[in-house]
Amino acid sequence: MNQETILMDKNKTDKRMYNLEFLRVVAMLMVVVLHYLGKGNLLCSLTENPVTGYGLVAWGIEAFCIVAVNVYMLISGYFLCESGFKLSRLLKLLLQIWTYSVGIGVLAVLLGLVPAAEVNTYYYLQLLFPVGMEHYWFLTAYVYFYILLPLLGKGVRDLTKKQHRIVLAILLLFFSIGKTVLPFRFTMDKKGYDVLWYICVFVLAAYLRKFGGGVLEKKGRGILLFLLGTALNLAEMFALAFAYSRTGHFEGLLGVSMEYNHLFPLVASLGLFGAFLGIPKDGKVCRTVGKLGGLTLGVYLLHENLGLRYVWQEWFGASKVDSVFLLLGTTVLAAVGMFALGICVEKVRLLAMQGLHKLLLKAKPYCSLMNLVNQADEAFAQK
């Protein structure tokens, strides 16, 4: 499945926005980096005093890349706010998730990549029901969000600029600004790992699509905002670490600025999104790299599969990192290596699905099902 069919309902006369496809590639590379550092145990504890050596560099890279998830949400929201719900799109996405979940998860067991103690009923339930069991938290949030799209999309399209600003301000106050300024956690704060945060970012992206990015699209402003948000993120984190080292308090807040729904990562992600939004959408570099954008979801589904989630980091020597040089080298190698592998696997999956589709077209039950799906799509397409 081409990820473009998940994220956008593109009019045939429109040019493809290769600048945002390029950004999607960049964001996925950042996601791989985050999972290499975090699940490769390369992020030192912030309770260490002092945090020195390559641990500082690792946290710097983490802060630089933490924008990736919000960027993905912004991209999808930017397109989906003017797109219609399609049952066929939802079913294709569910099939893609299930194929990776079961296929890679079972293969990992057969190859002995999953410890025997972890292969149990719960493991297989996560493979068989990846959305409900939150095998991939991001896609669980996306699927639930997409199911609500007929309501959400119409809602944001009908809002005036003033109404949209008020709704956006309220959402950000409850889900981002509050946790940023208060010295404690709300019980309902899921750190951005849920559909509620996806809806917040969708409303923000819809505002940018409807009323323009303003200062974000001006040359250089987006990059400056990205760097500012990243710098503030690191400053808060190390300030809290210092306060903890002196007082023994604030341990539960040490990593709060690295959470997706914190204001600083959101500001940084807006800056990066605006920077790419402001460049020519059909430039040579954007067109070349952006052609991979439709395959990047496969990278996520591969390297975050339960069977590989804590395994692939060692393929690139995570446990041997003991210097800044090795940290930088293995991080780049891991990001490029897993990205390339994921793109290849997704390409093979697409070819297999296309072949299977052609075979099934000969079966009447399958054709009848496709007709029902098409009728549903037509129903939602009616104004």
**Nearest one of 100, 83, 80, 104 to 92, comparing CA atoms:** 100
Dihedral (Cα; 79, 341, 117, 320), 10-degree rounding: -110
Q: Are 264 and 257 in contact (CB under 8 A)?
A: yes
Q: Are 22 and 276 in contact (CB under 8 A)?
A: yes
204: left (phi over 0), alpha (psi -120 to 50) or beta: alpha
Residues 184-243 pLDDT 10s? 888 999 999 999 999 999 999 999 999 987 767 676 889 999 999 999 999 999 899 888
**Nearest one of 135, 112, 129, 109 to 120, comparing CA atoms:** 109
The domain limits of the chain are: 4-381
Q: Return the amino acid letter for 75.
A: I
**DSSP letter, residue 333:** H
Two structure tokens written together for 270: 């807006």
Tens-binned pLDDT, residue by residue, of the chain (383 aa): 344 444 444 333 346 789 999 999 999 999 999 999 999 999 988 887 666 678 889 999 999 999 999 999 999 999 998 888 999 999 999 999 999 999 999 999 999 999 999 999 999 999 999 999 999 999 999 999 999 999 999 999 999 999 999 999 999 999 999 999 998 888 999 999 999 999 999 999 999 999 987 767 676 889 999 999 999 999 999 899 888 888 888 888 888 999 999 999 999 999 999 999 888 888 888 888 888 999 999 999 999 999 999 999 999 999 999 899 999 999 999 999 999 999 999 999 999 999 998 898 888 888 988 899 899 888 888 65
Q: Are 16 and 306 in contact (CB under 8 A)?
A: no
pTM of the full structure: 0.92
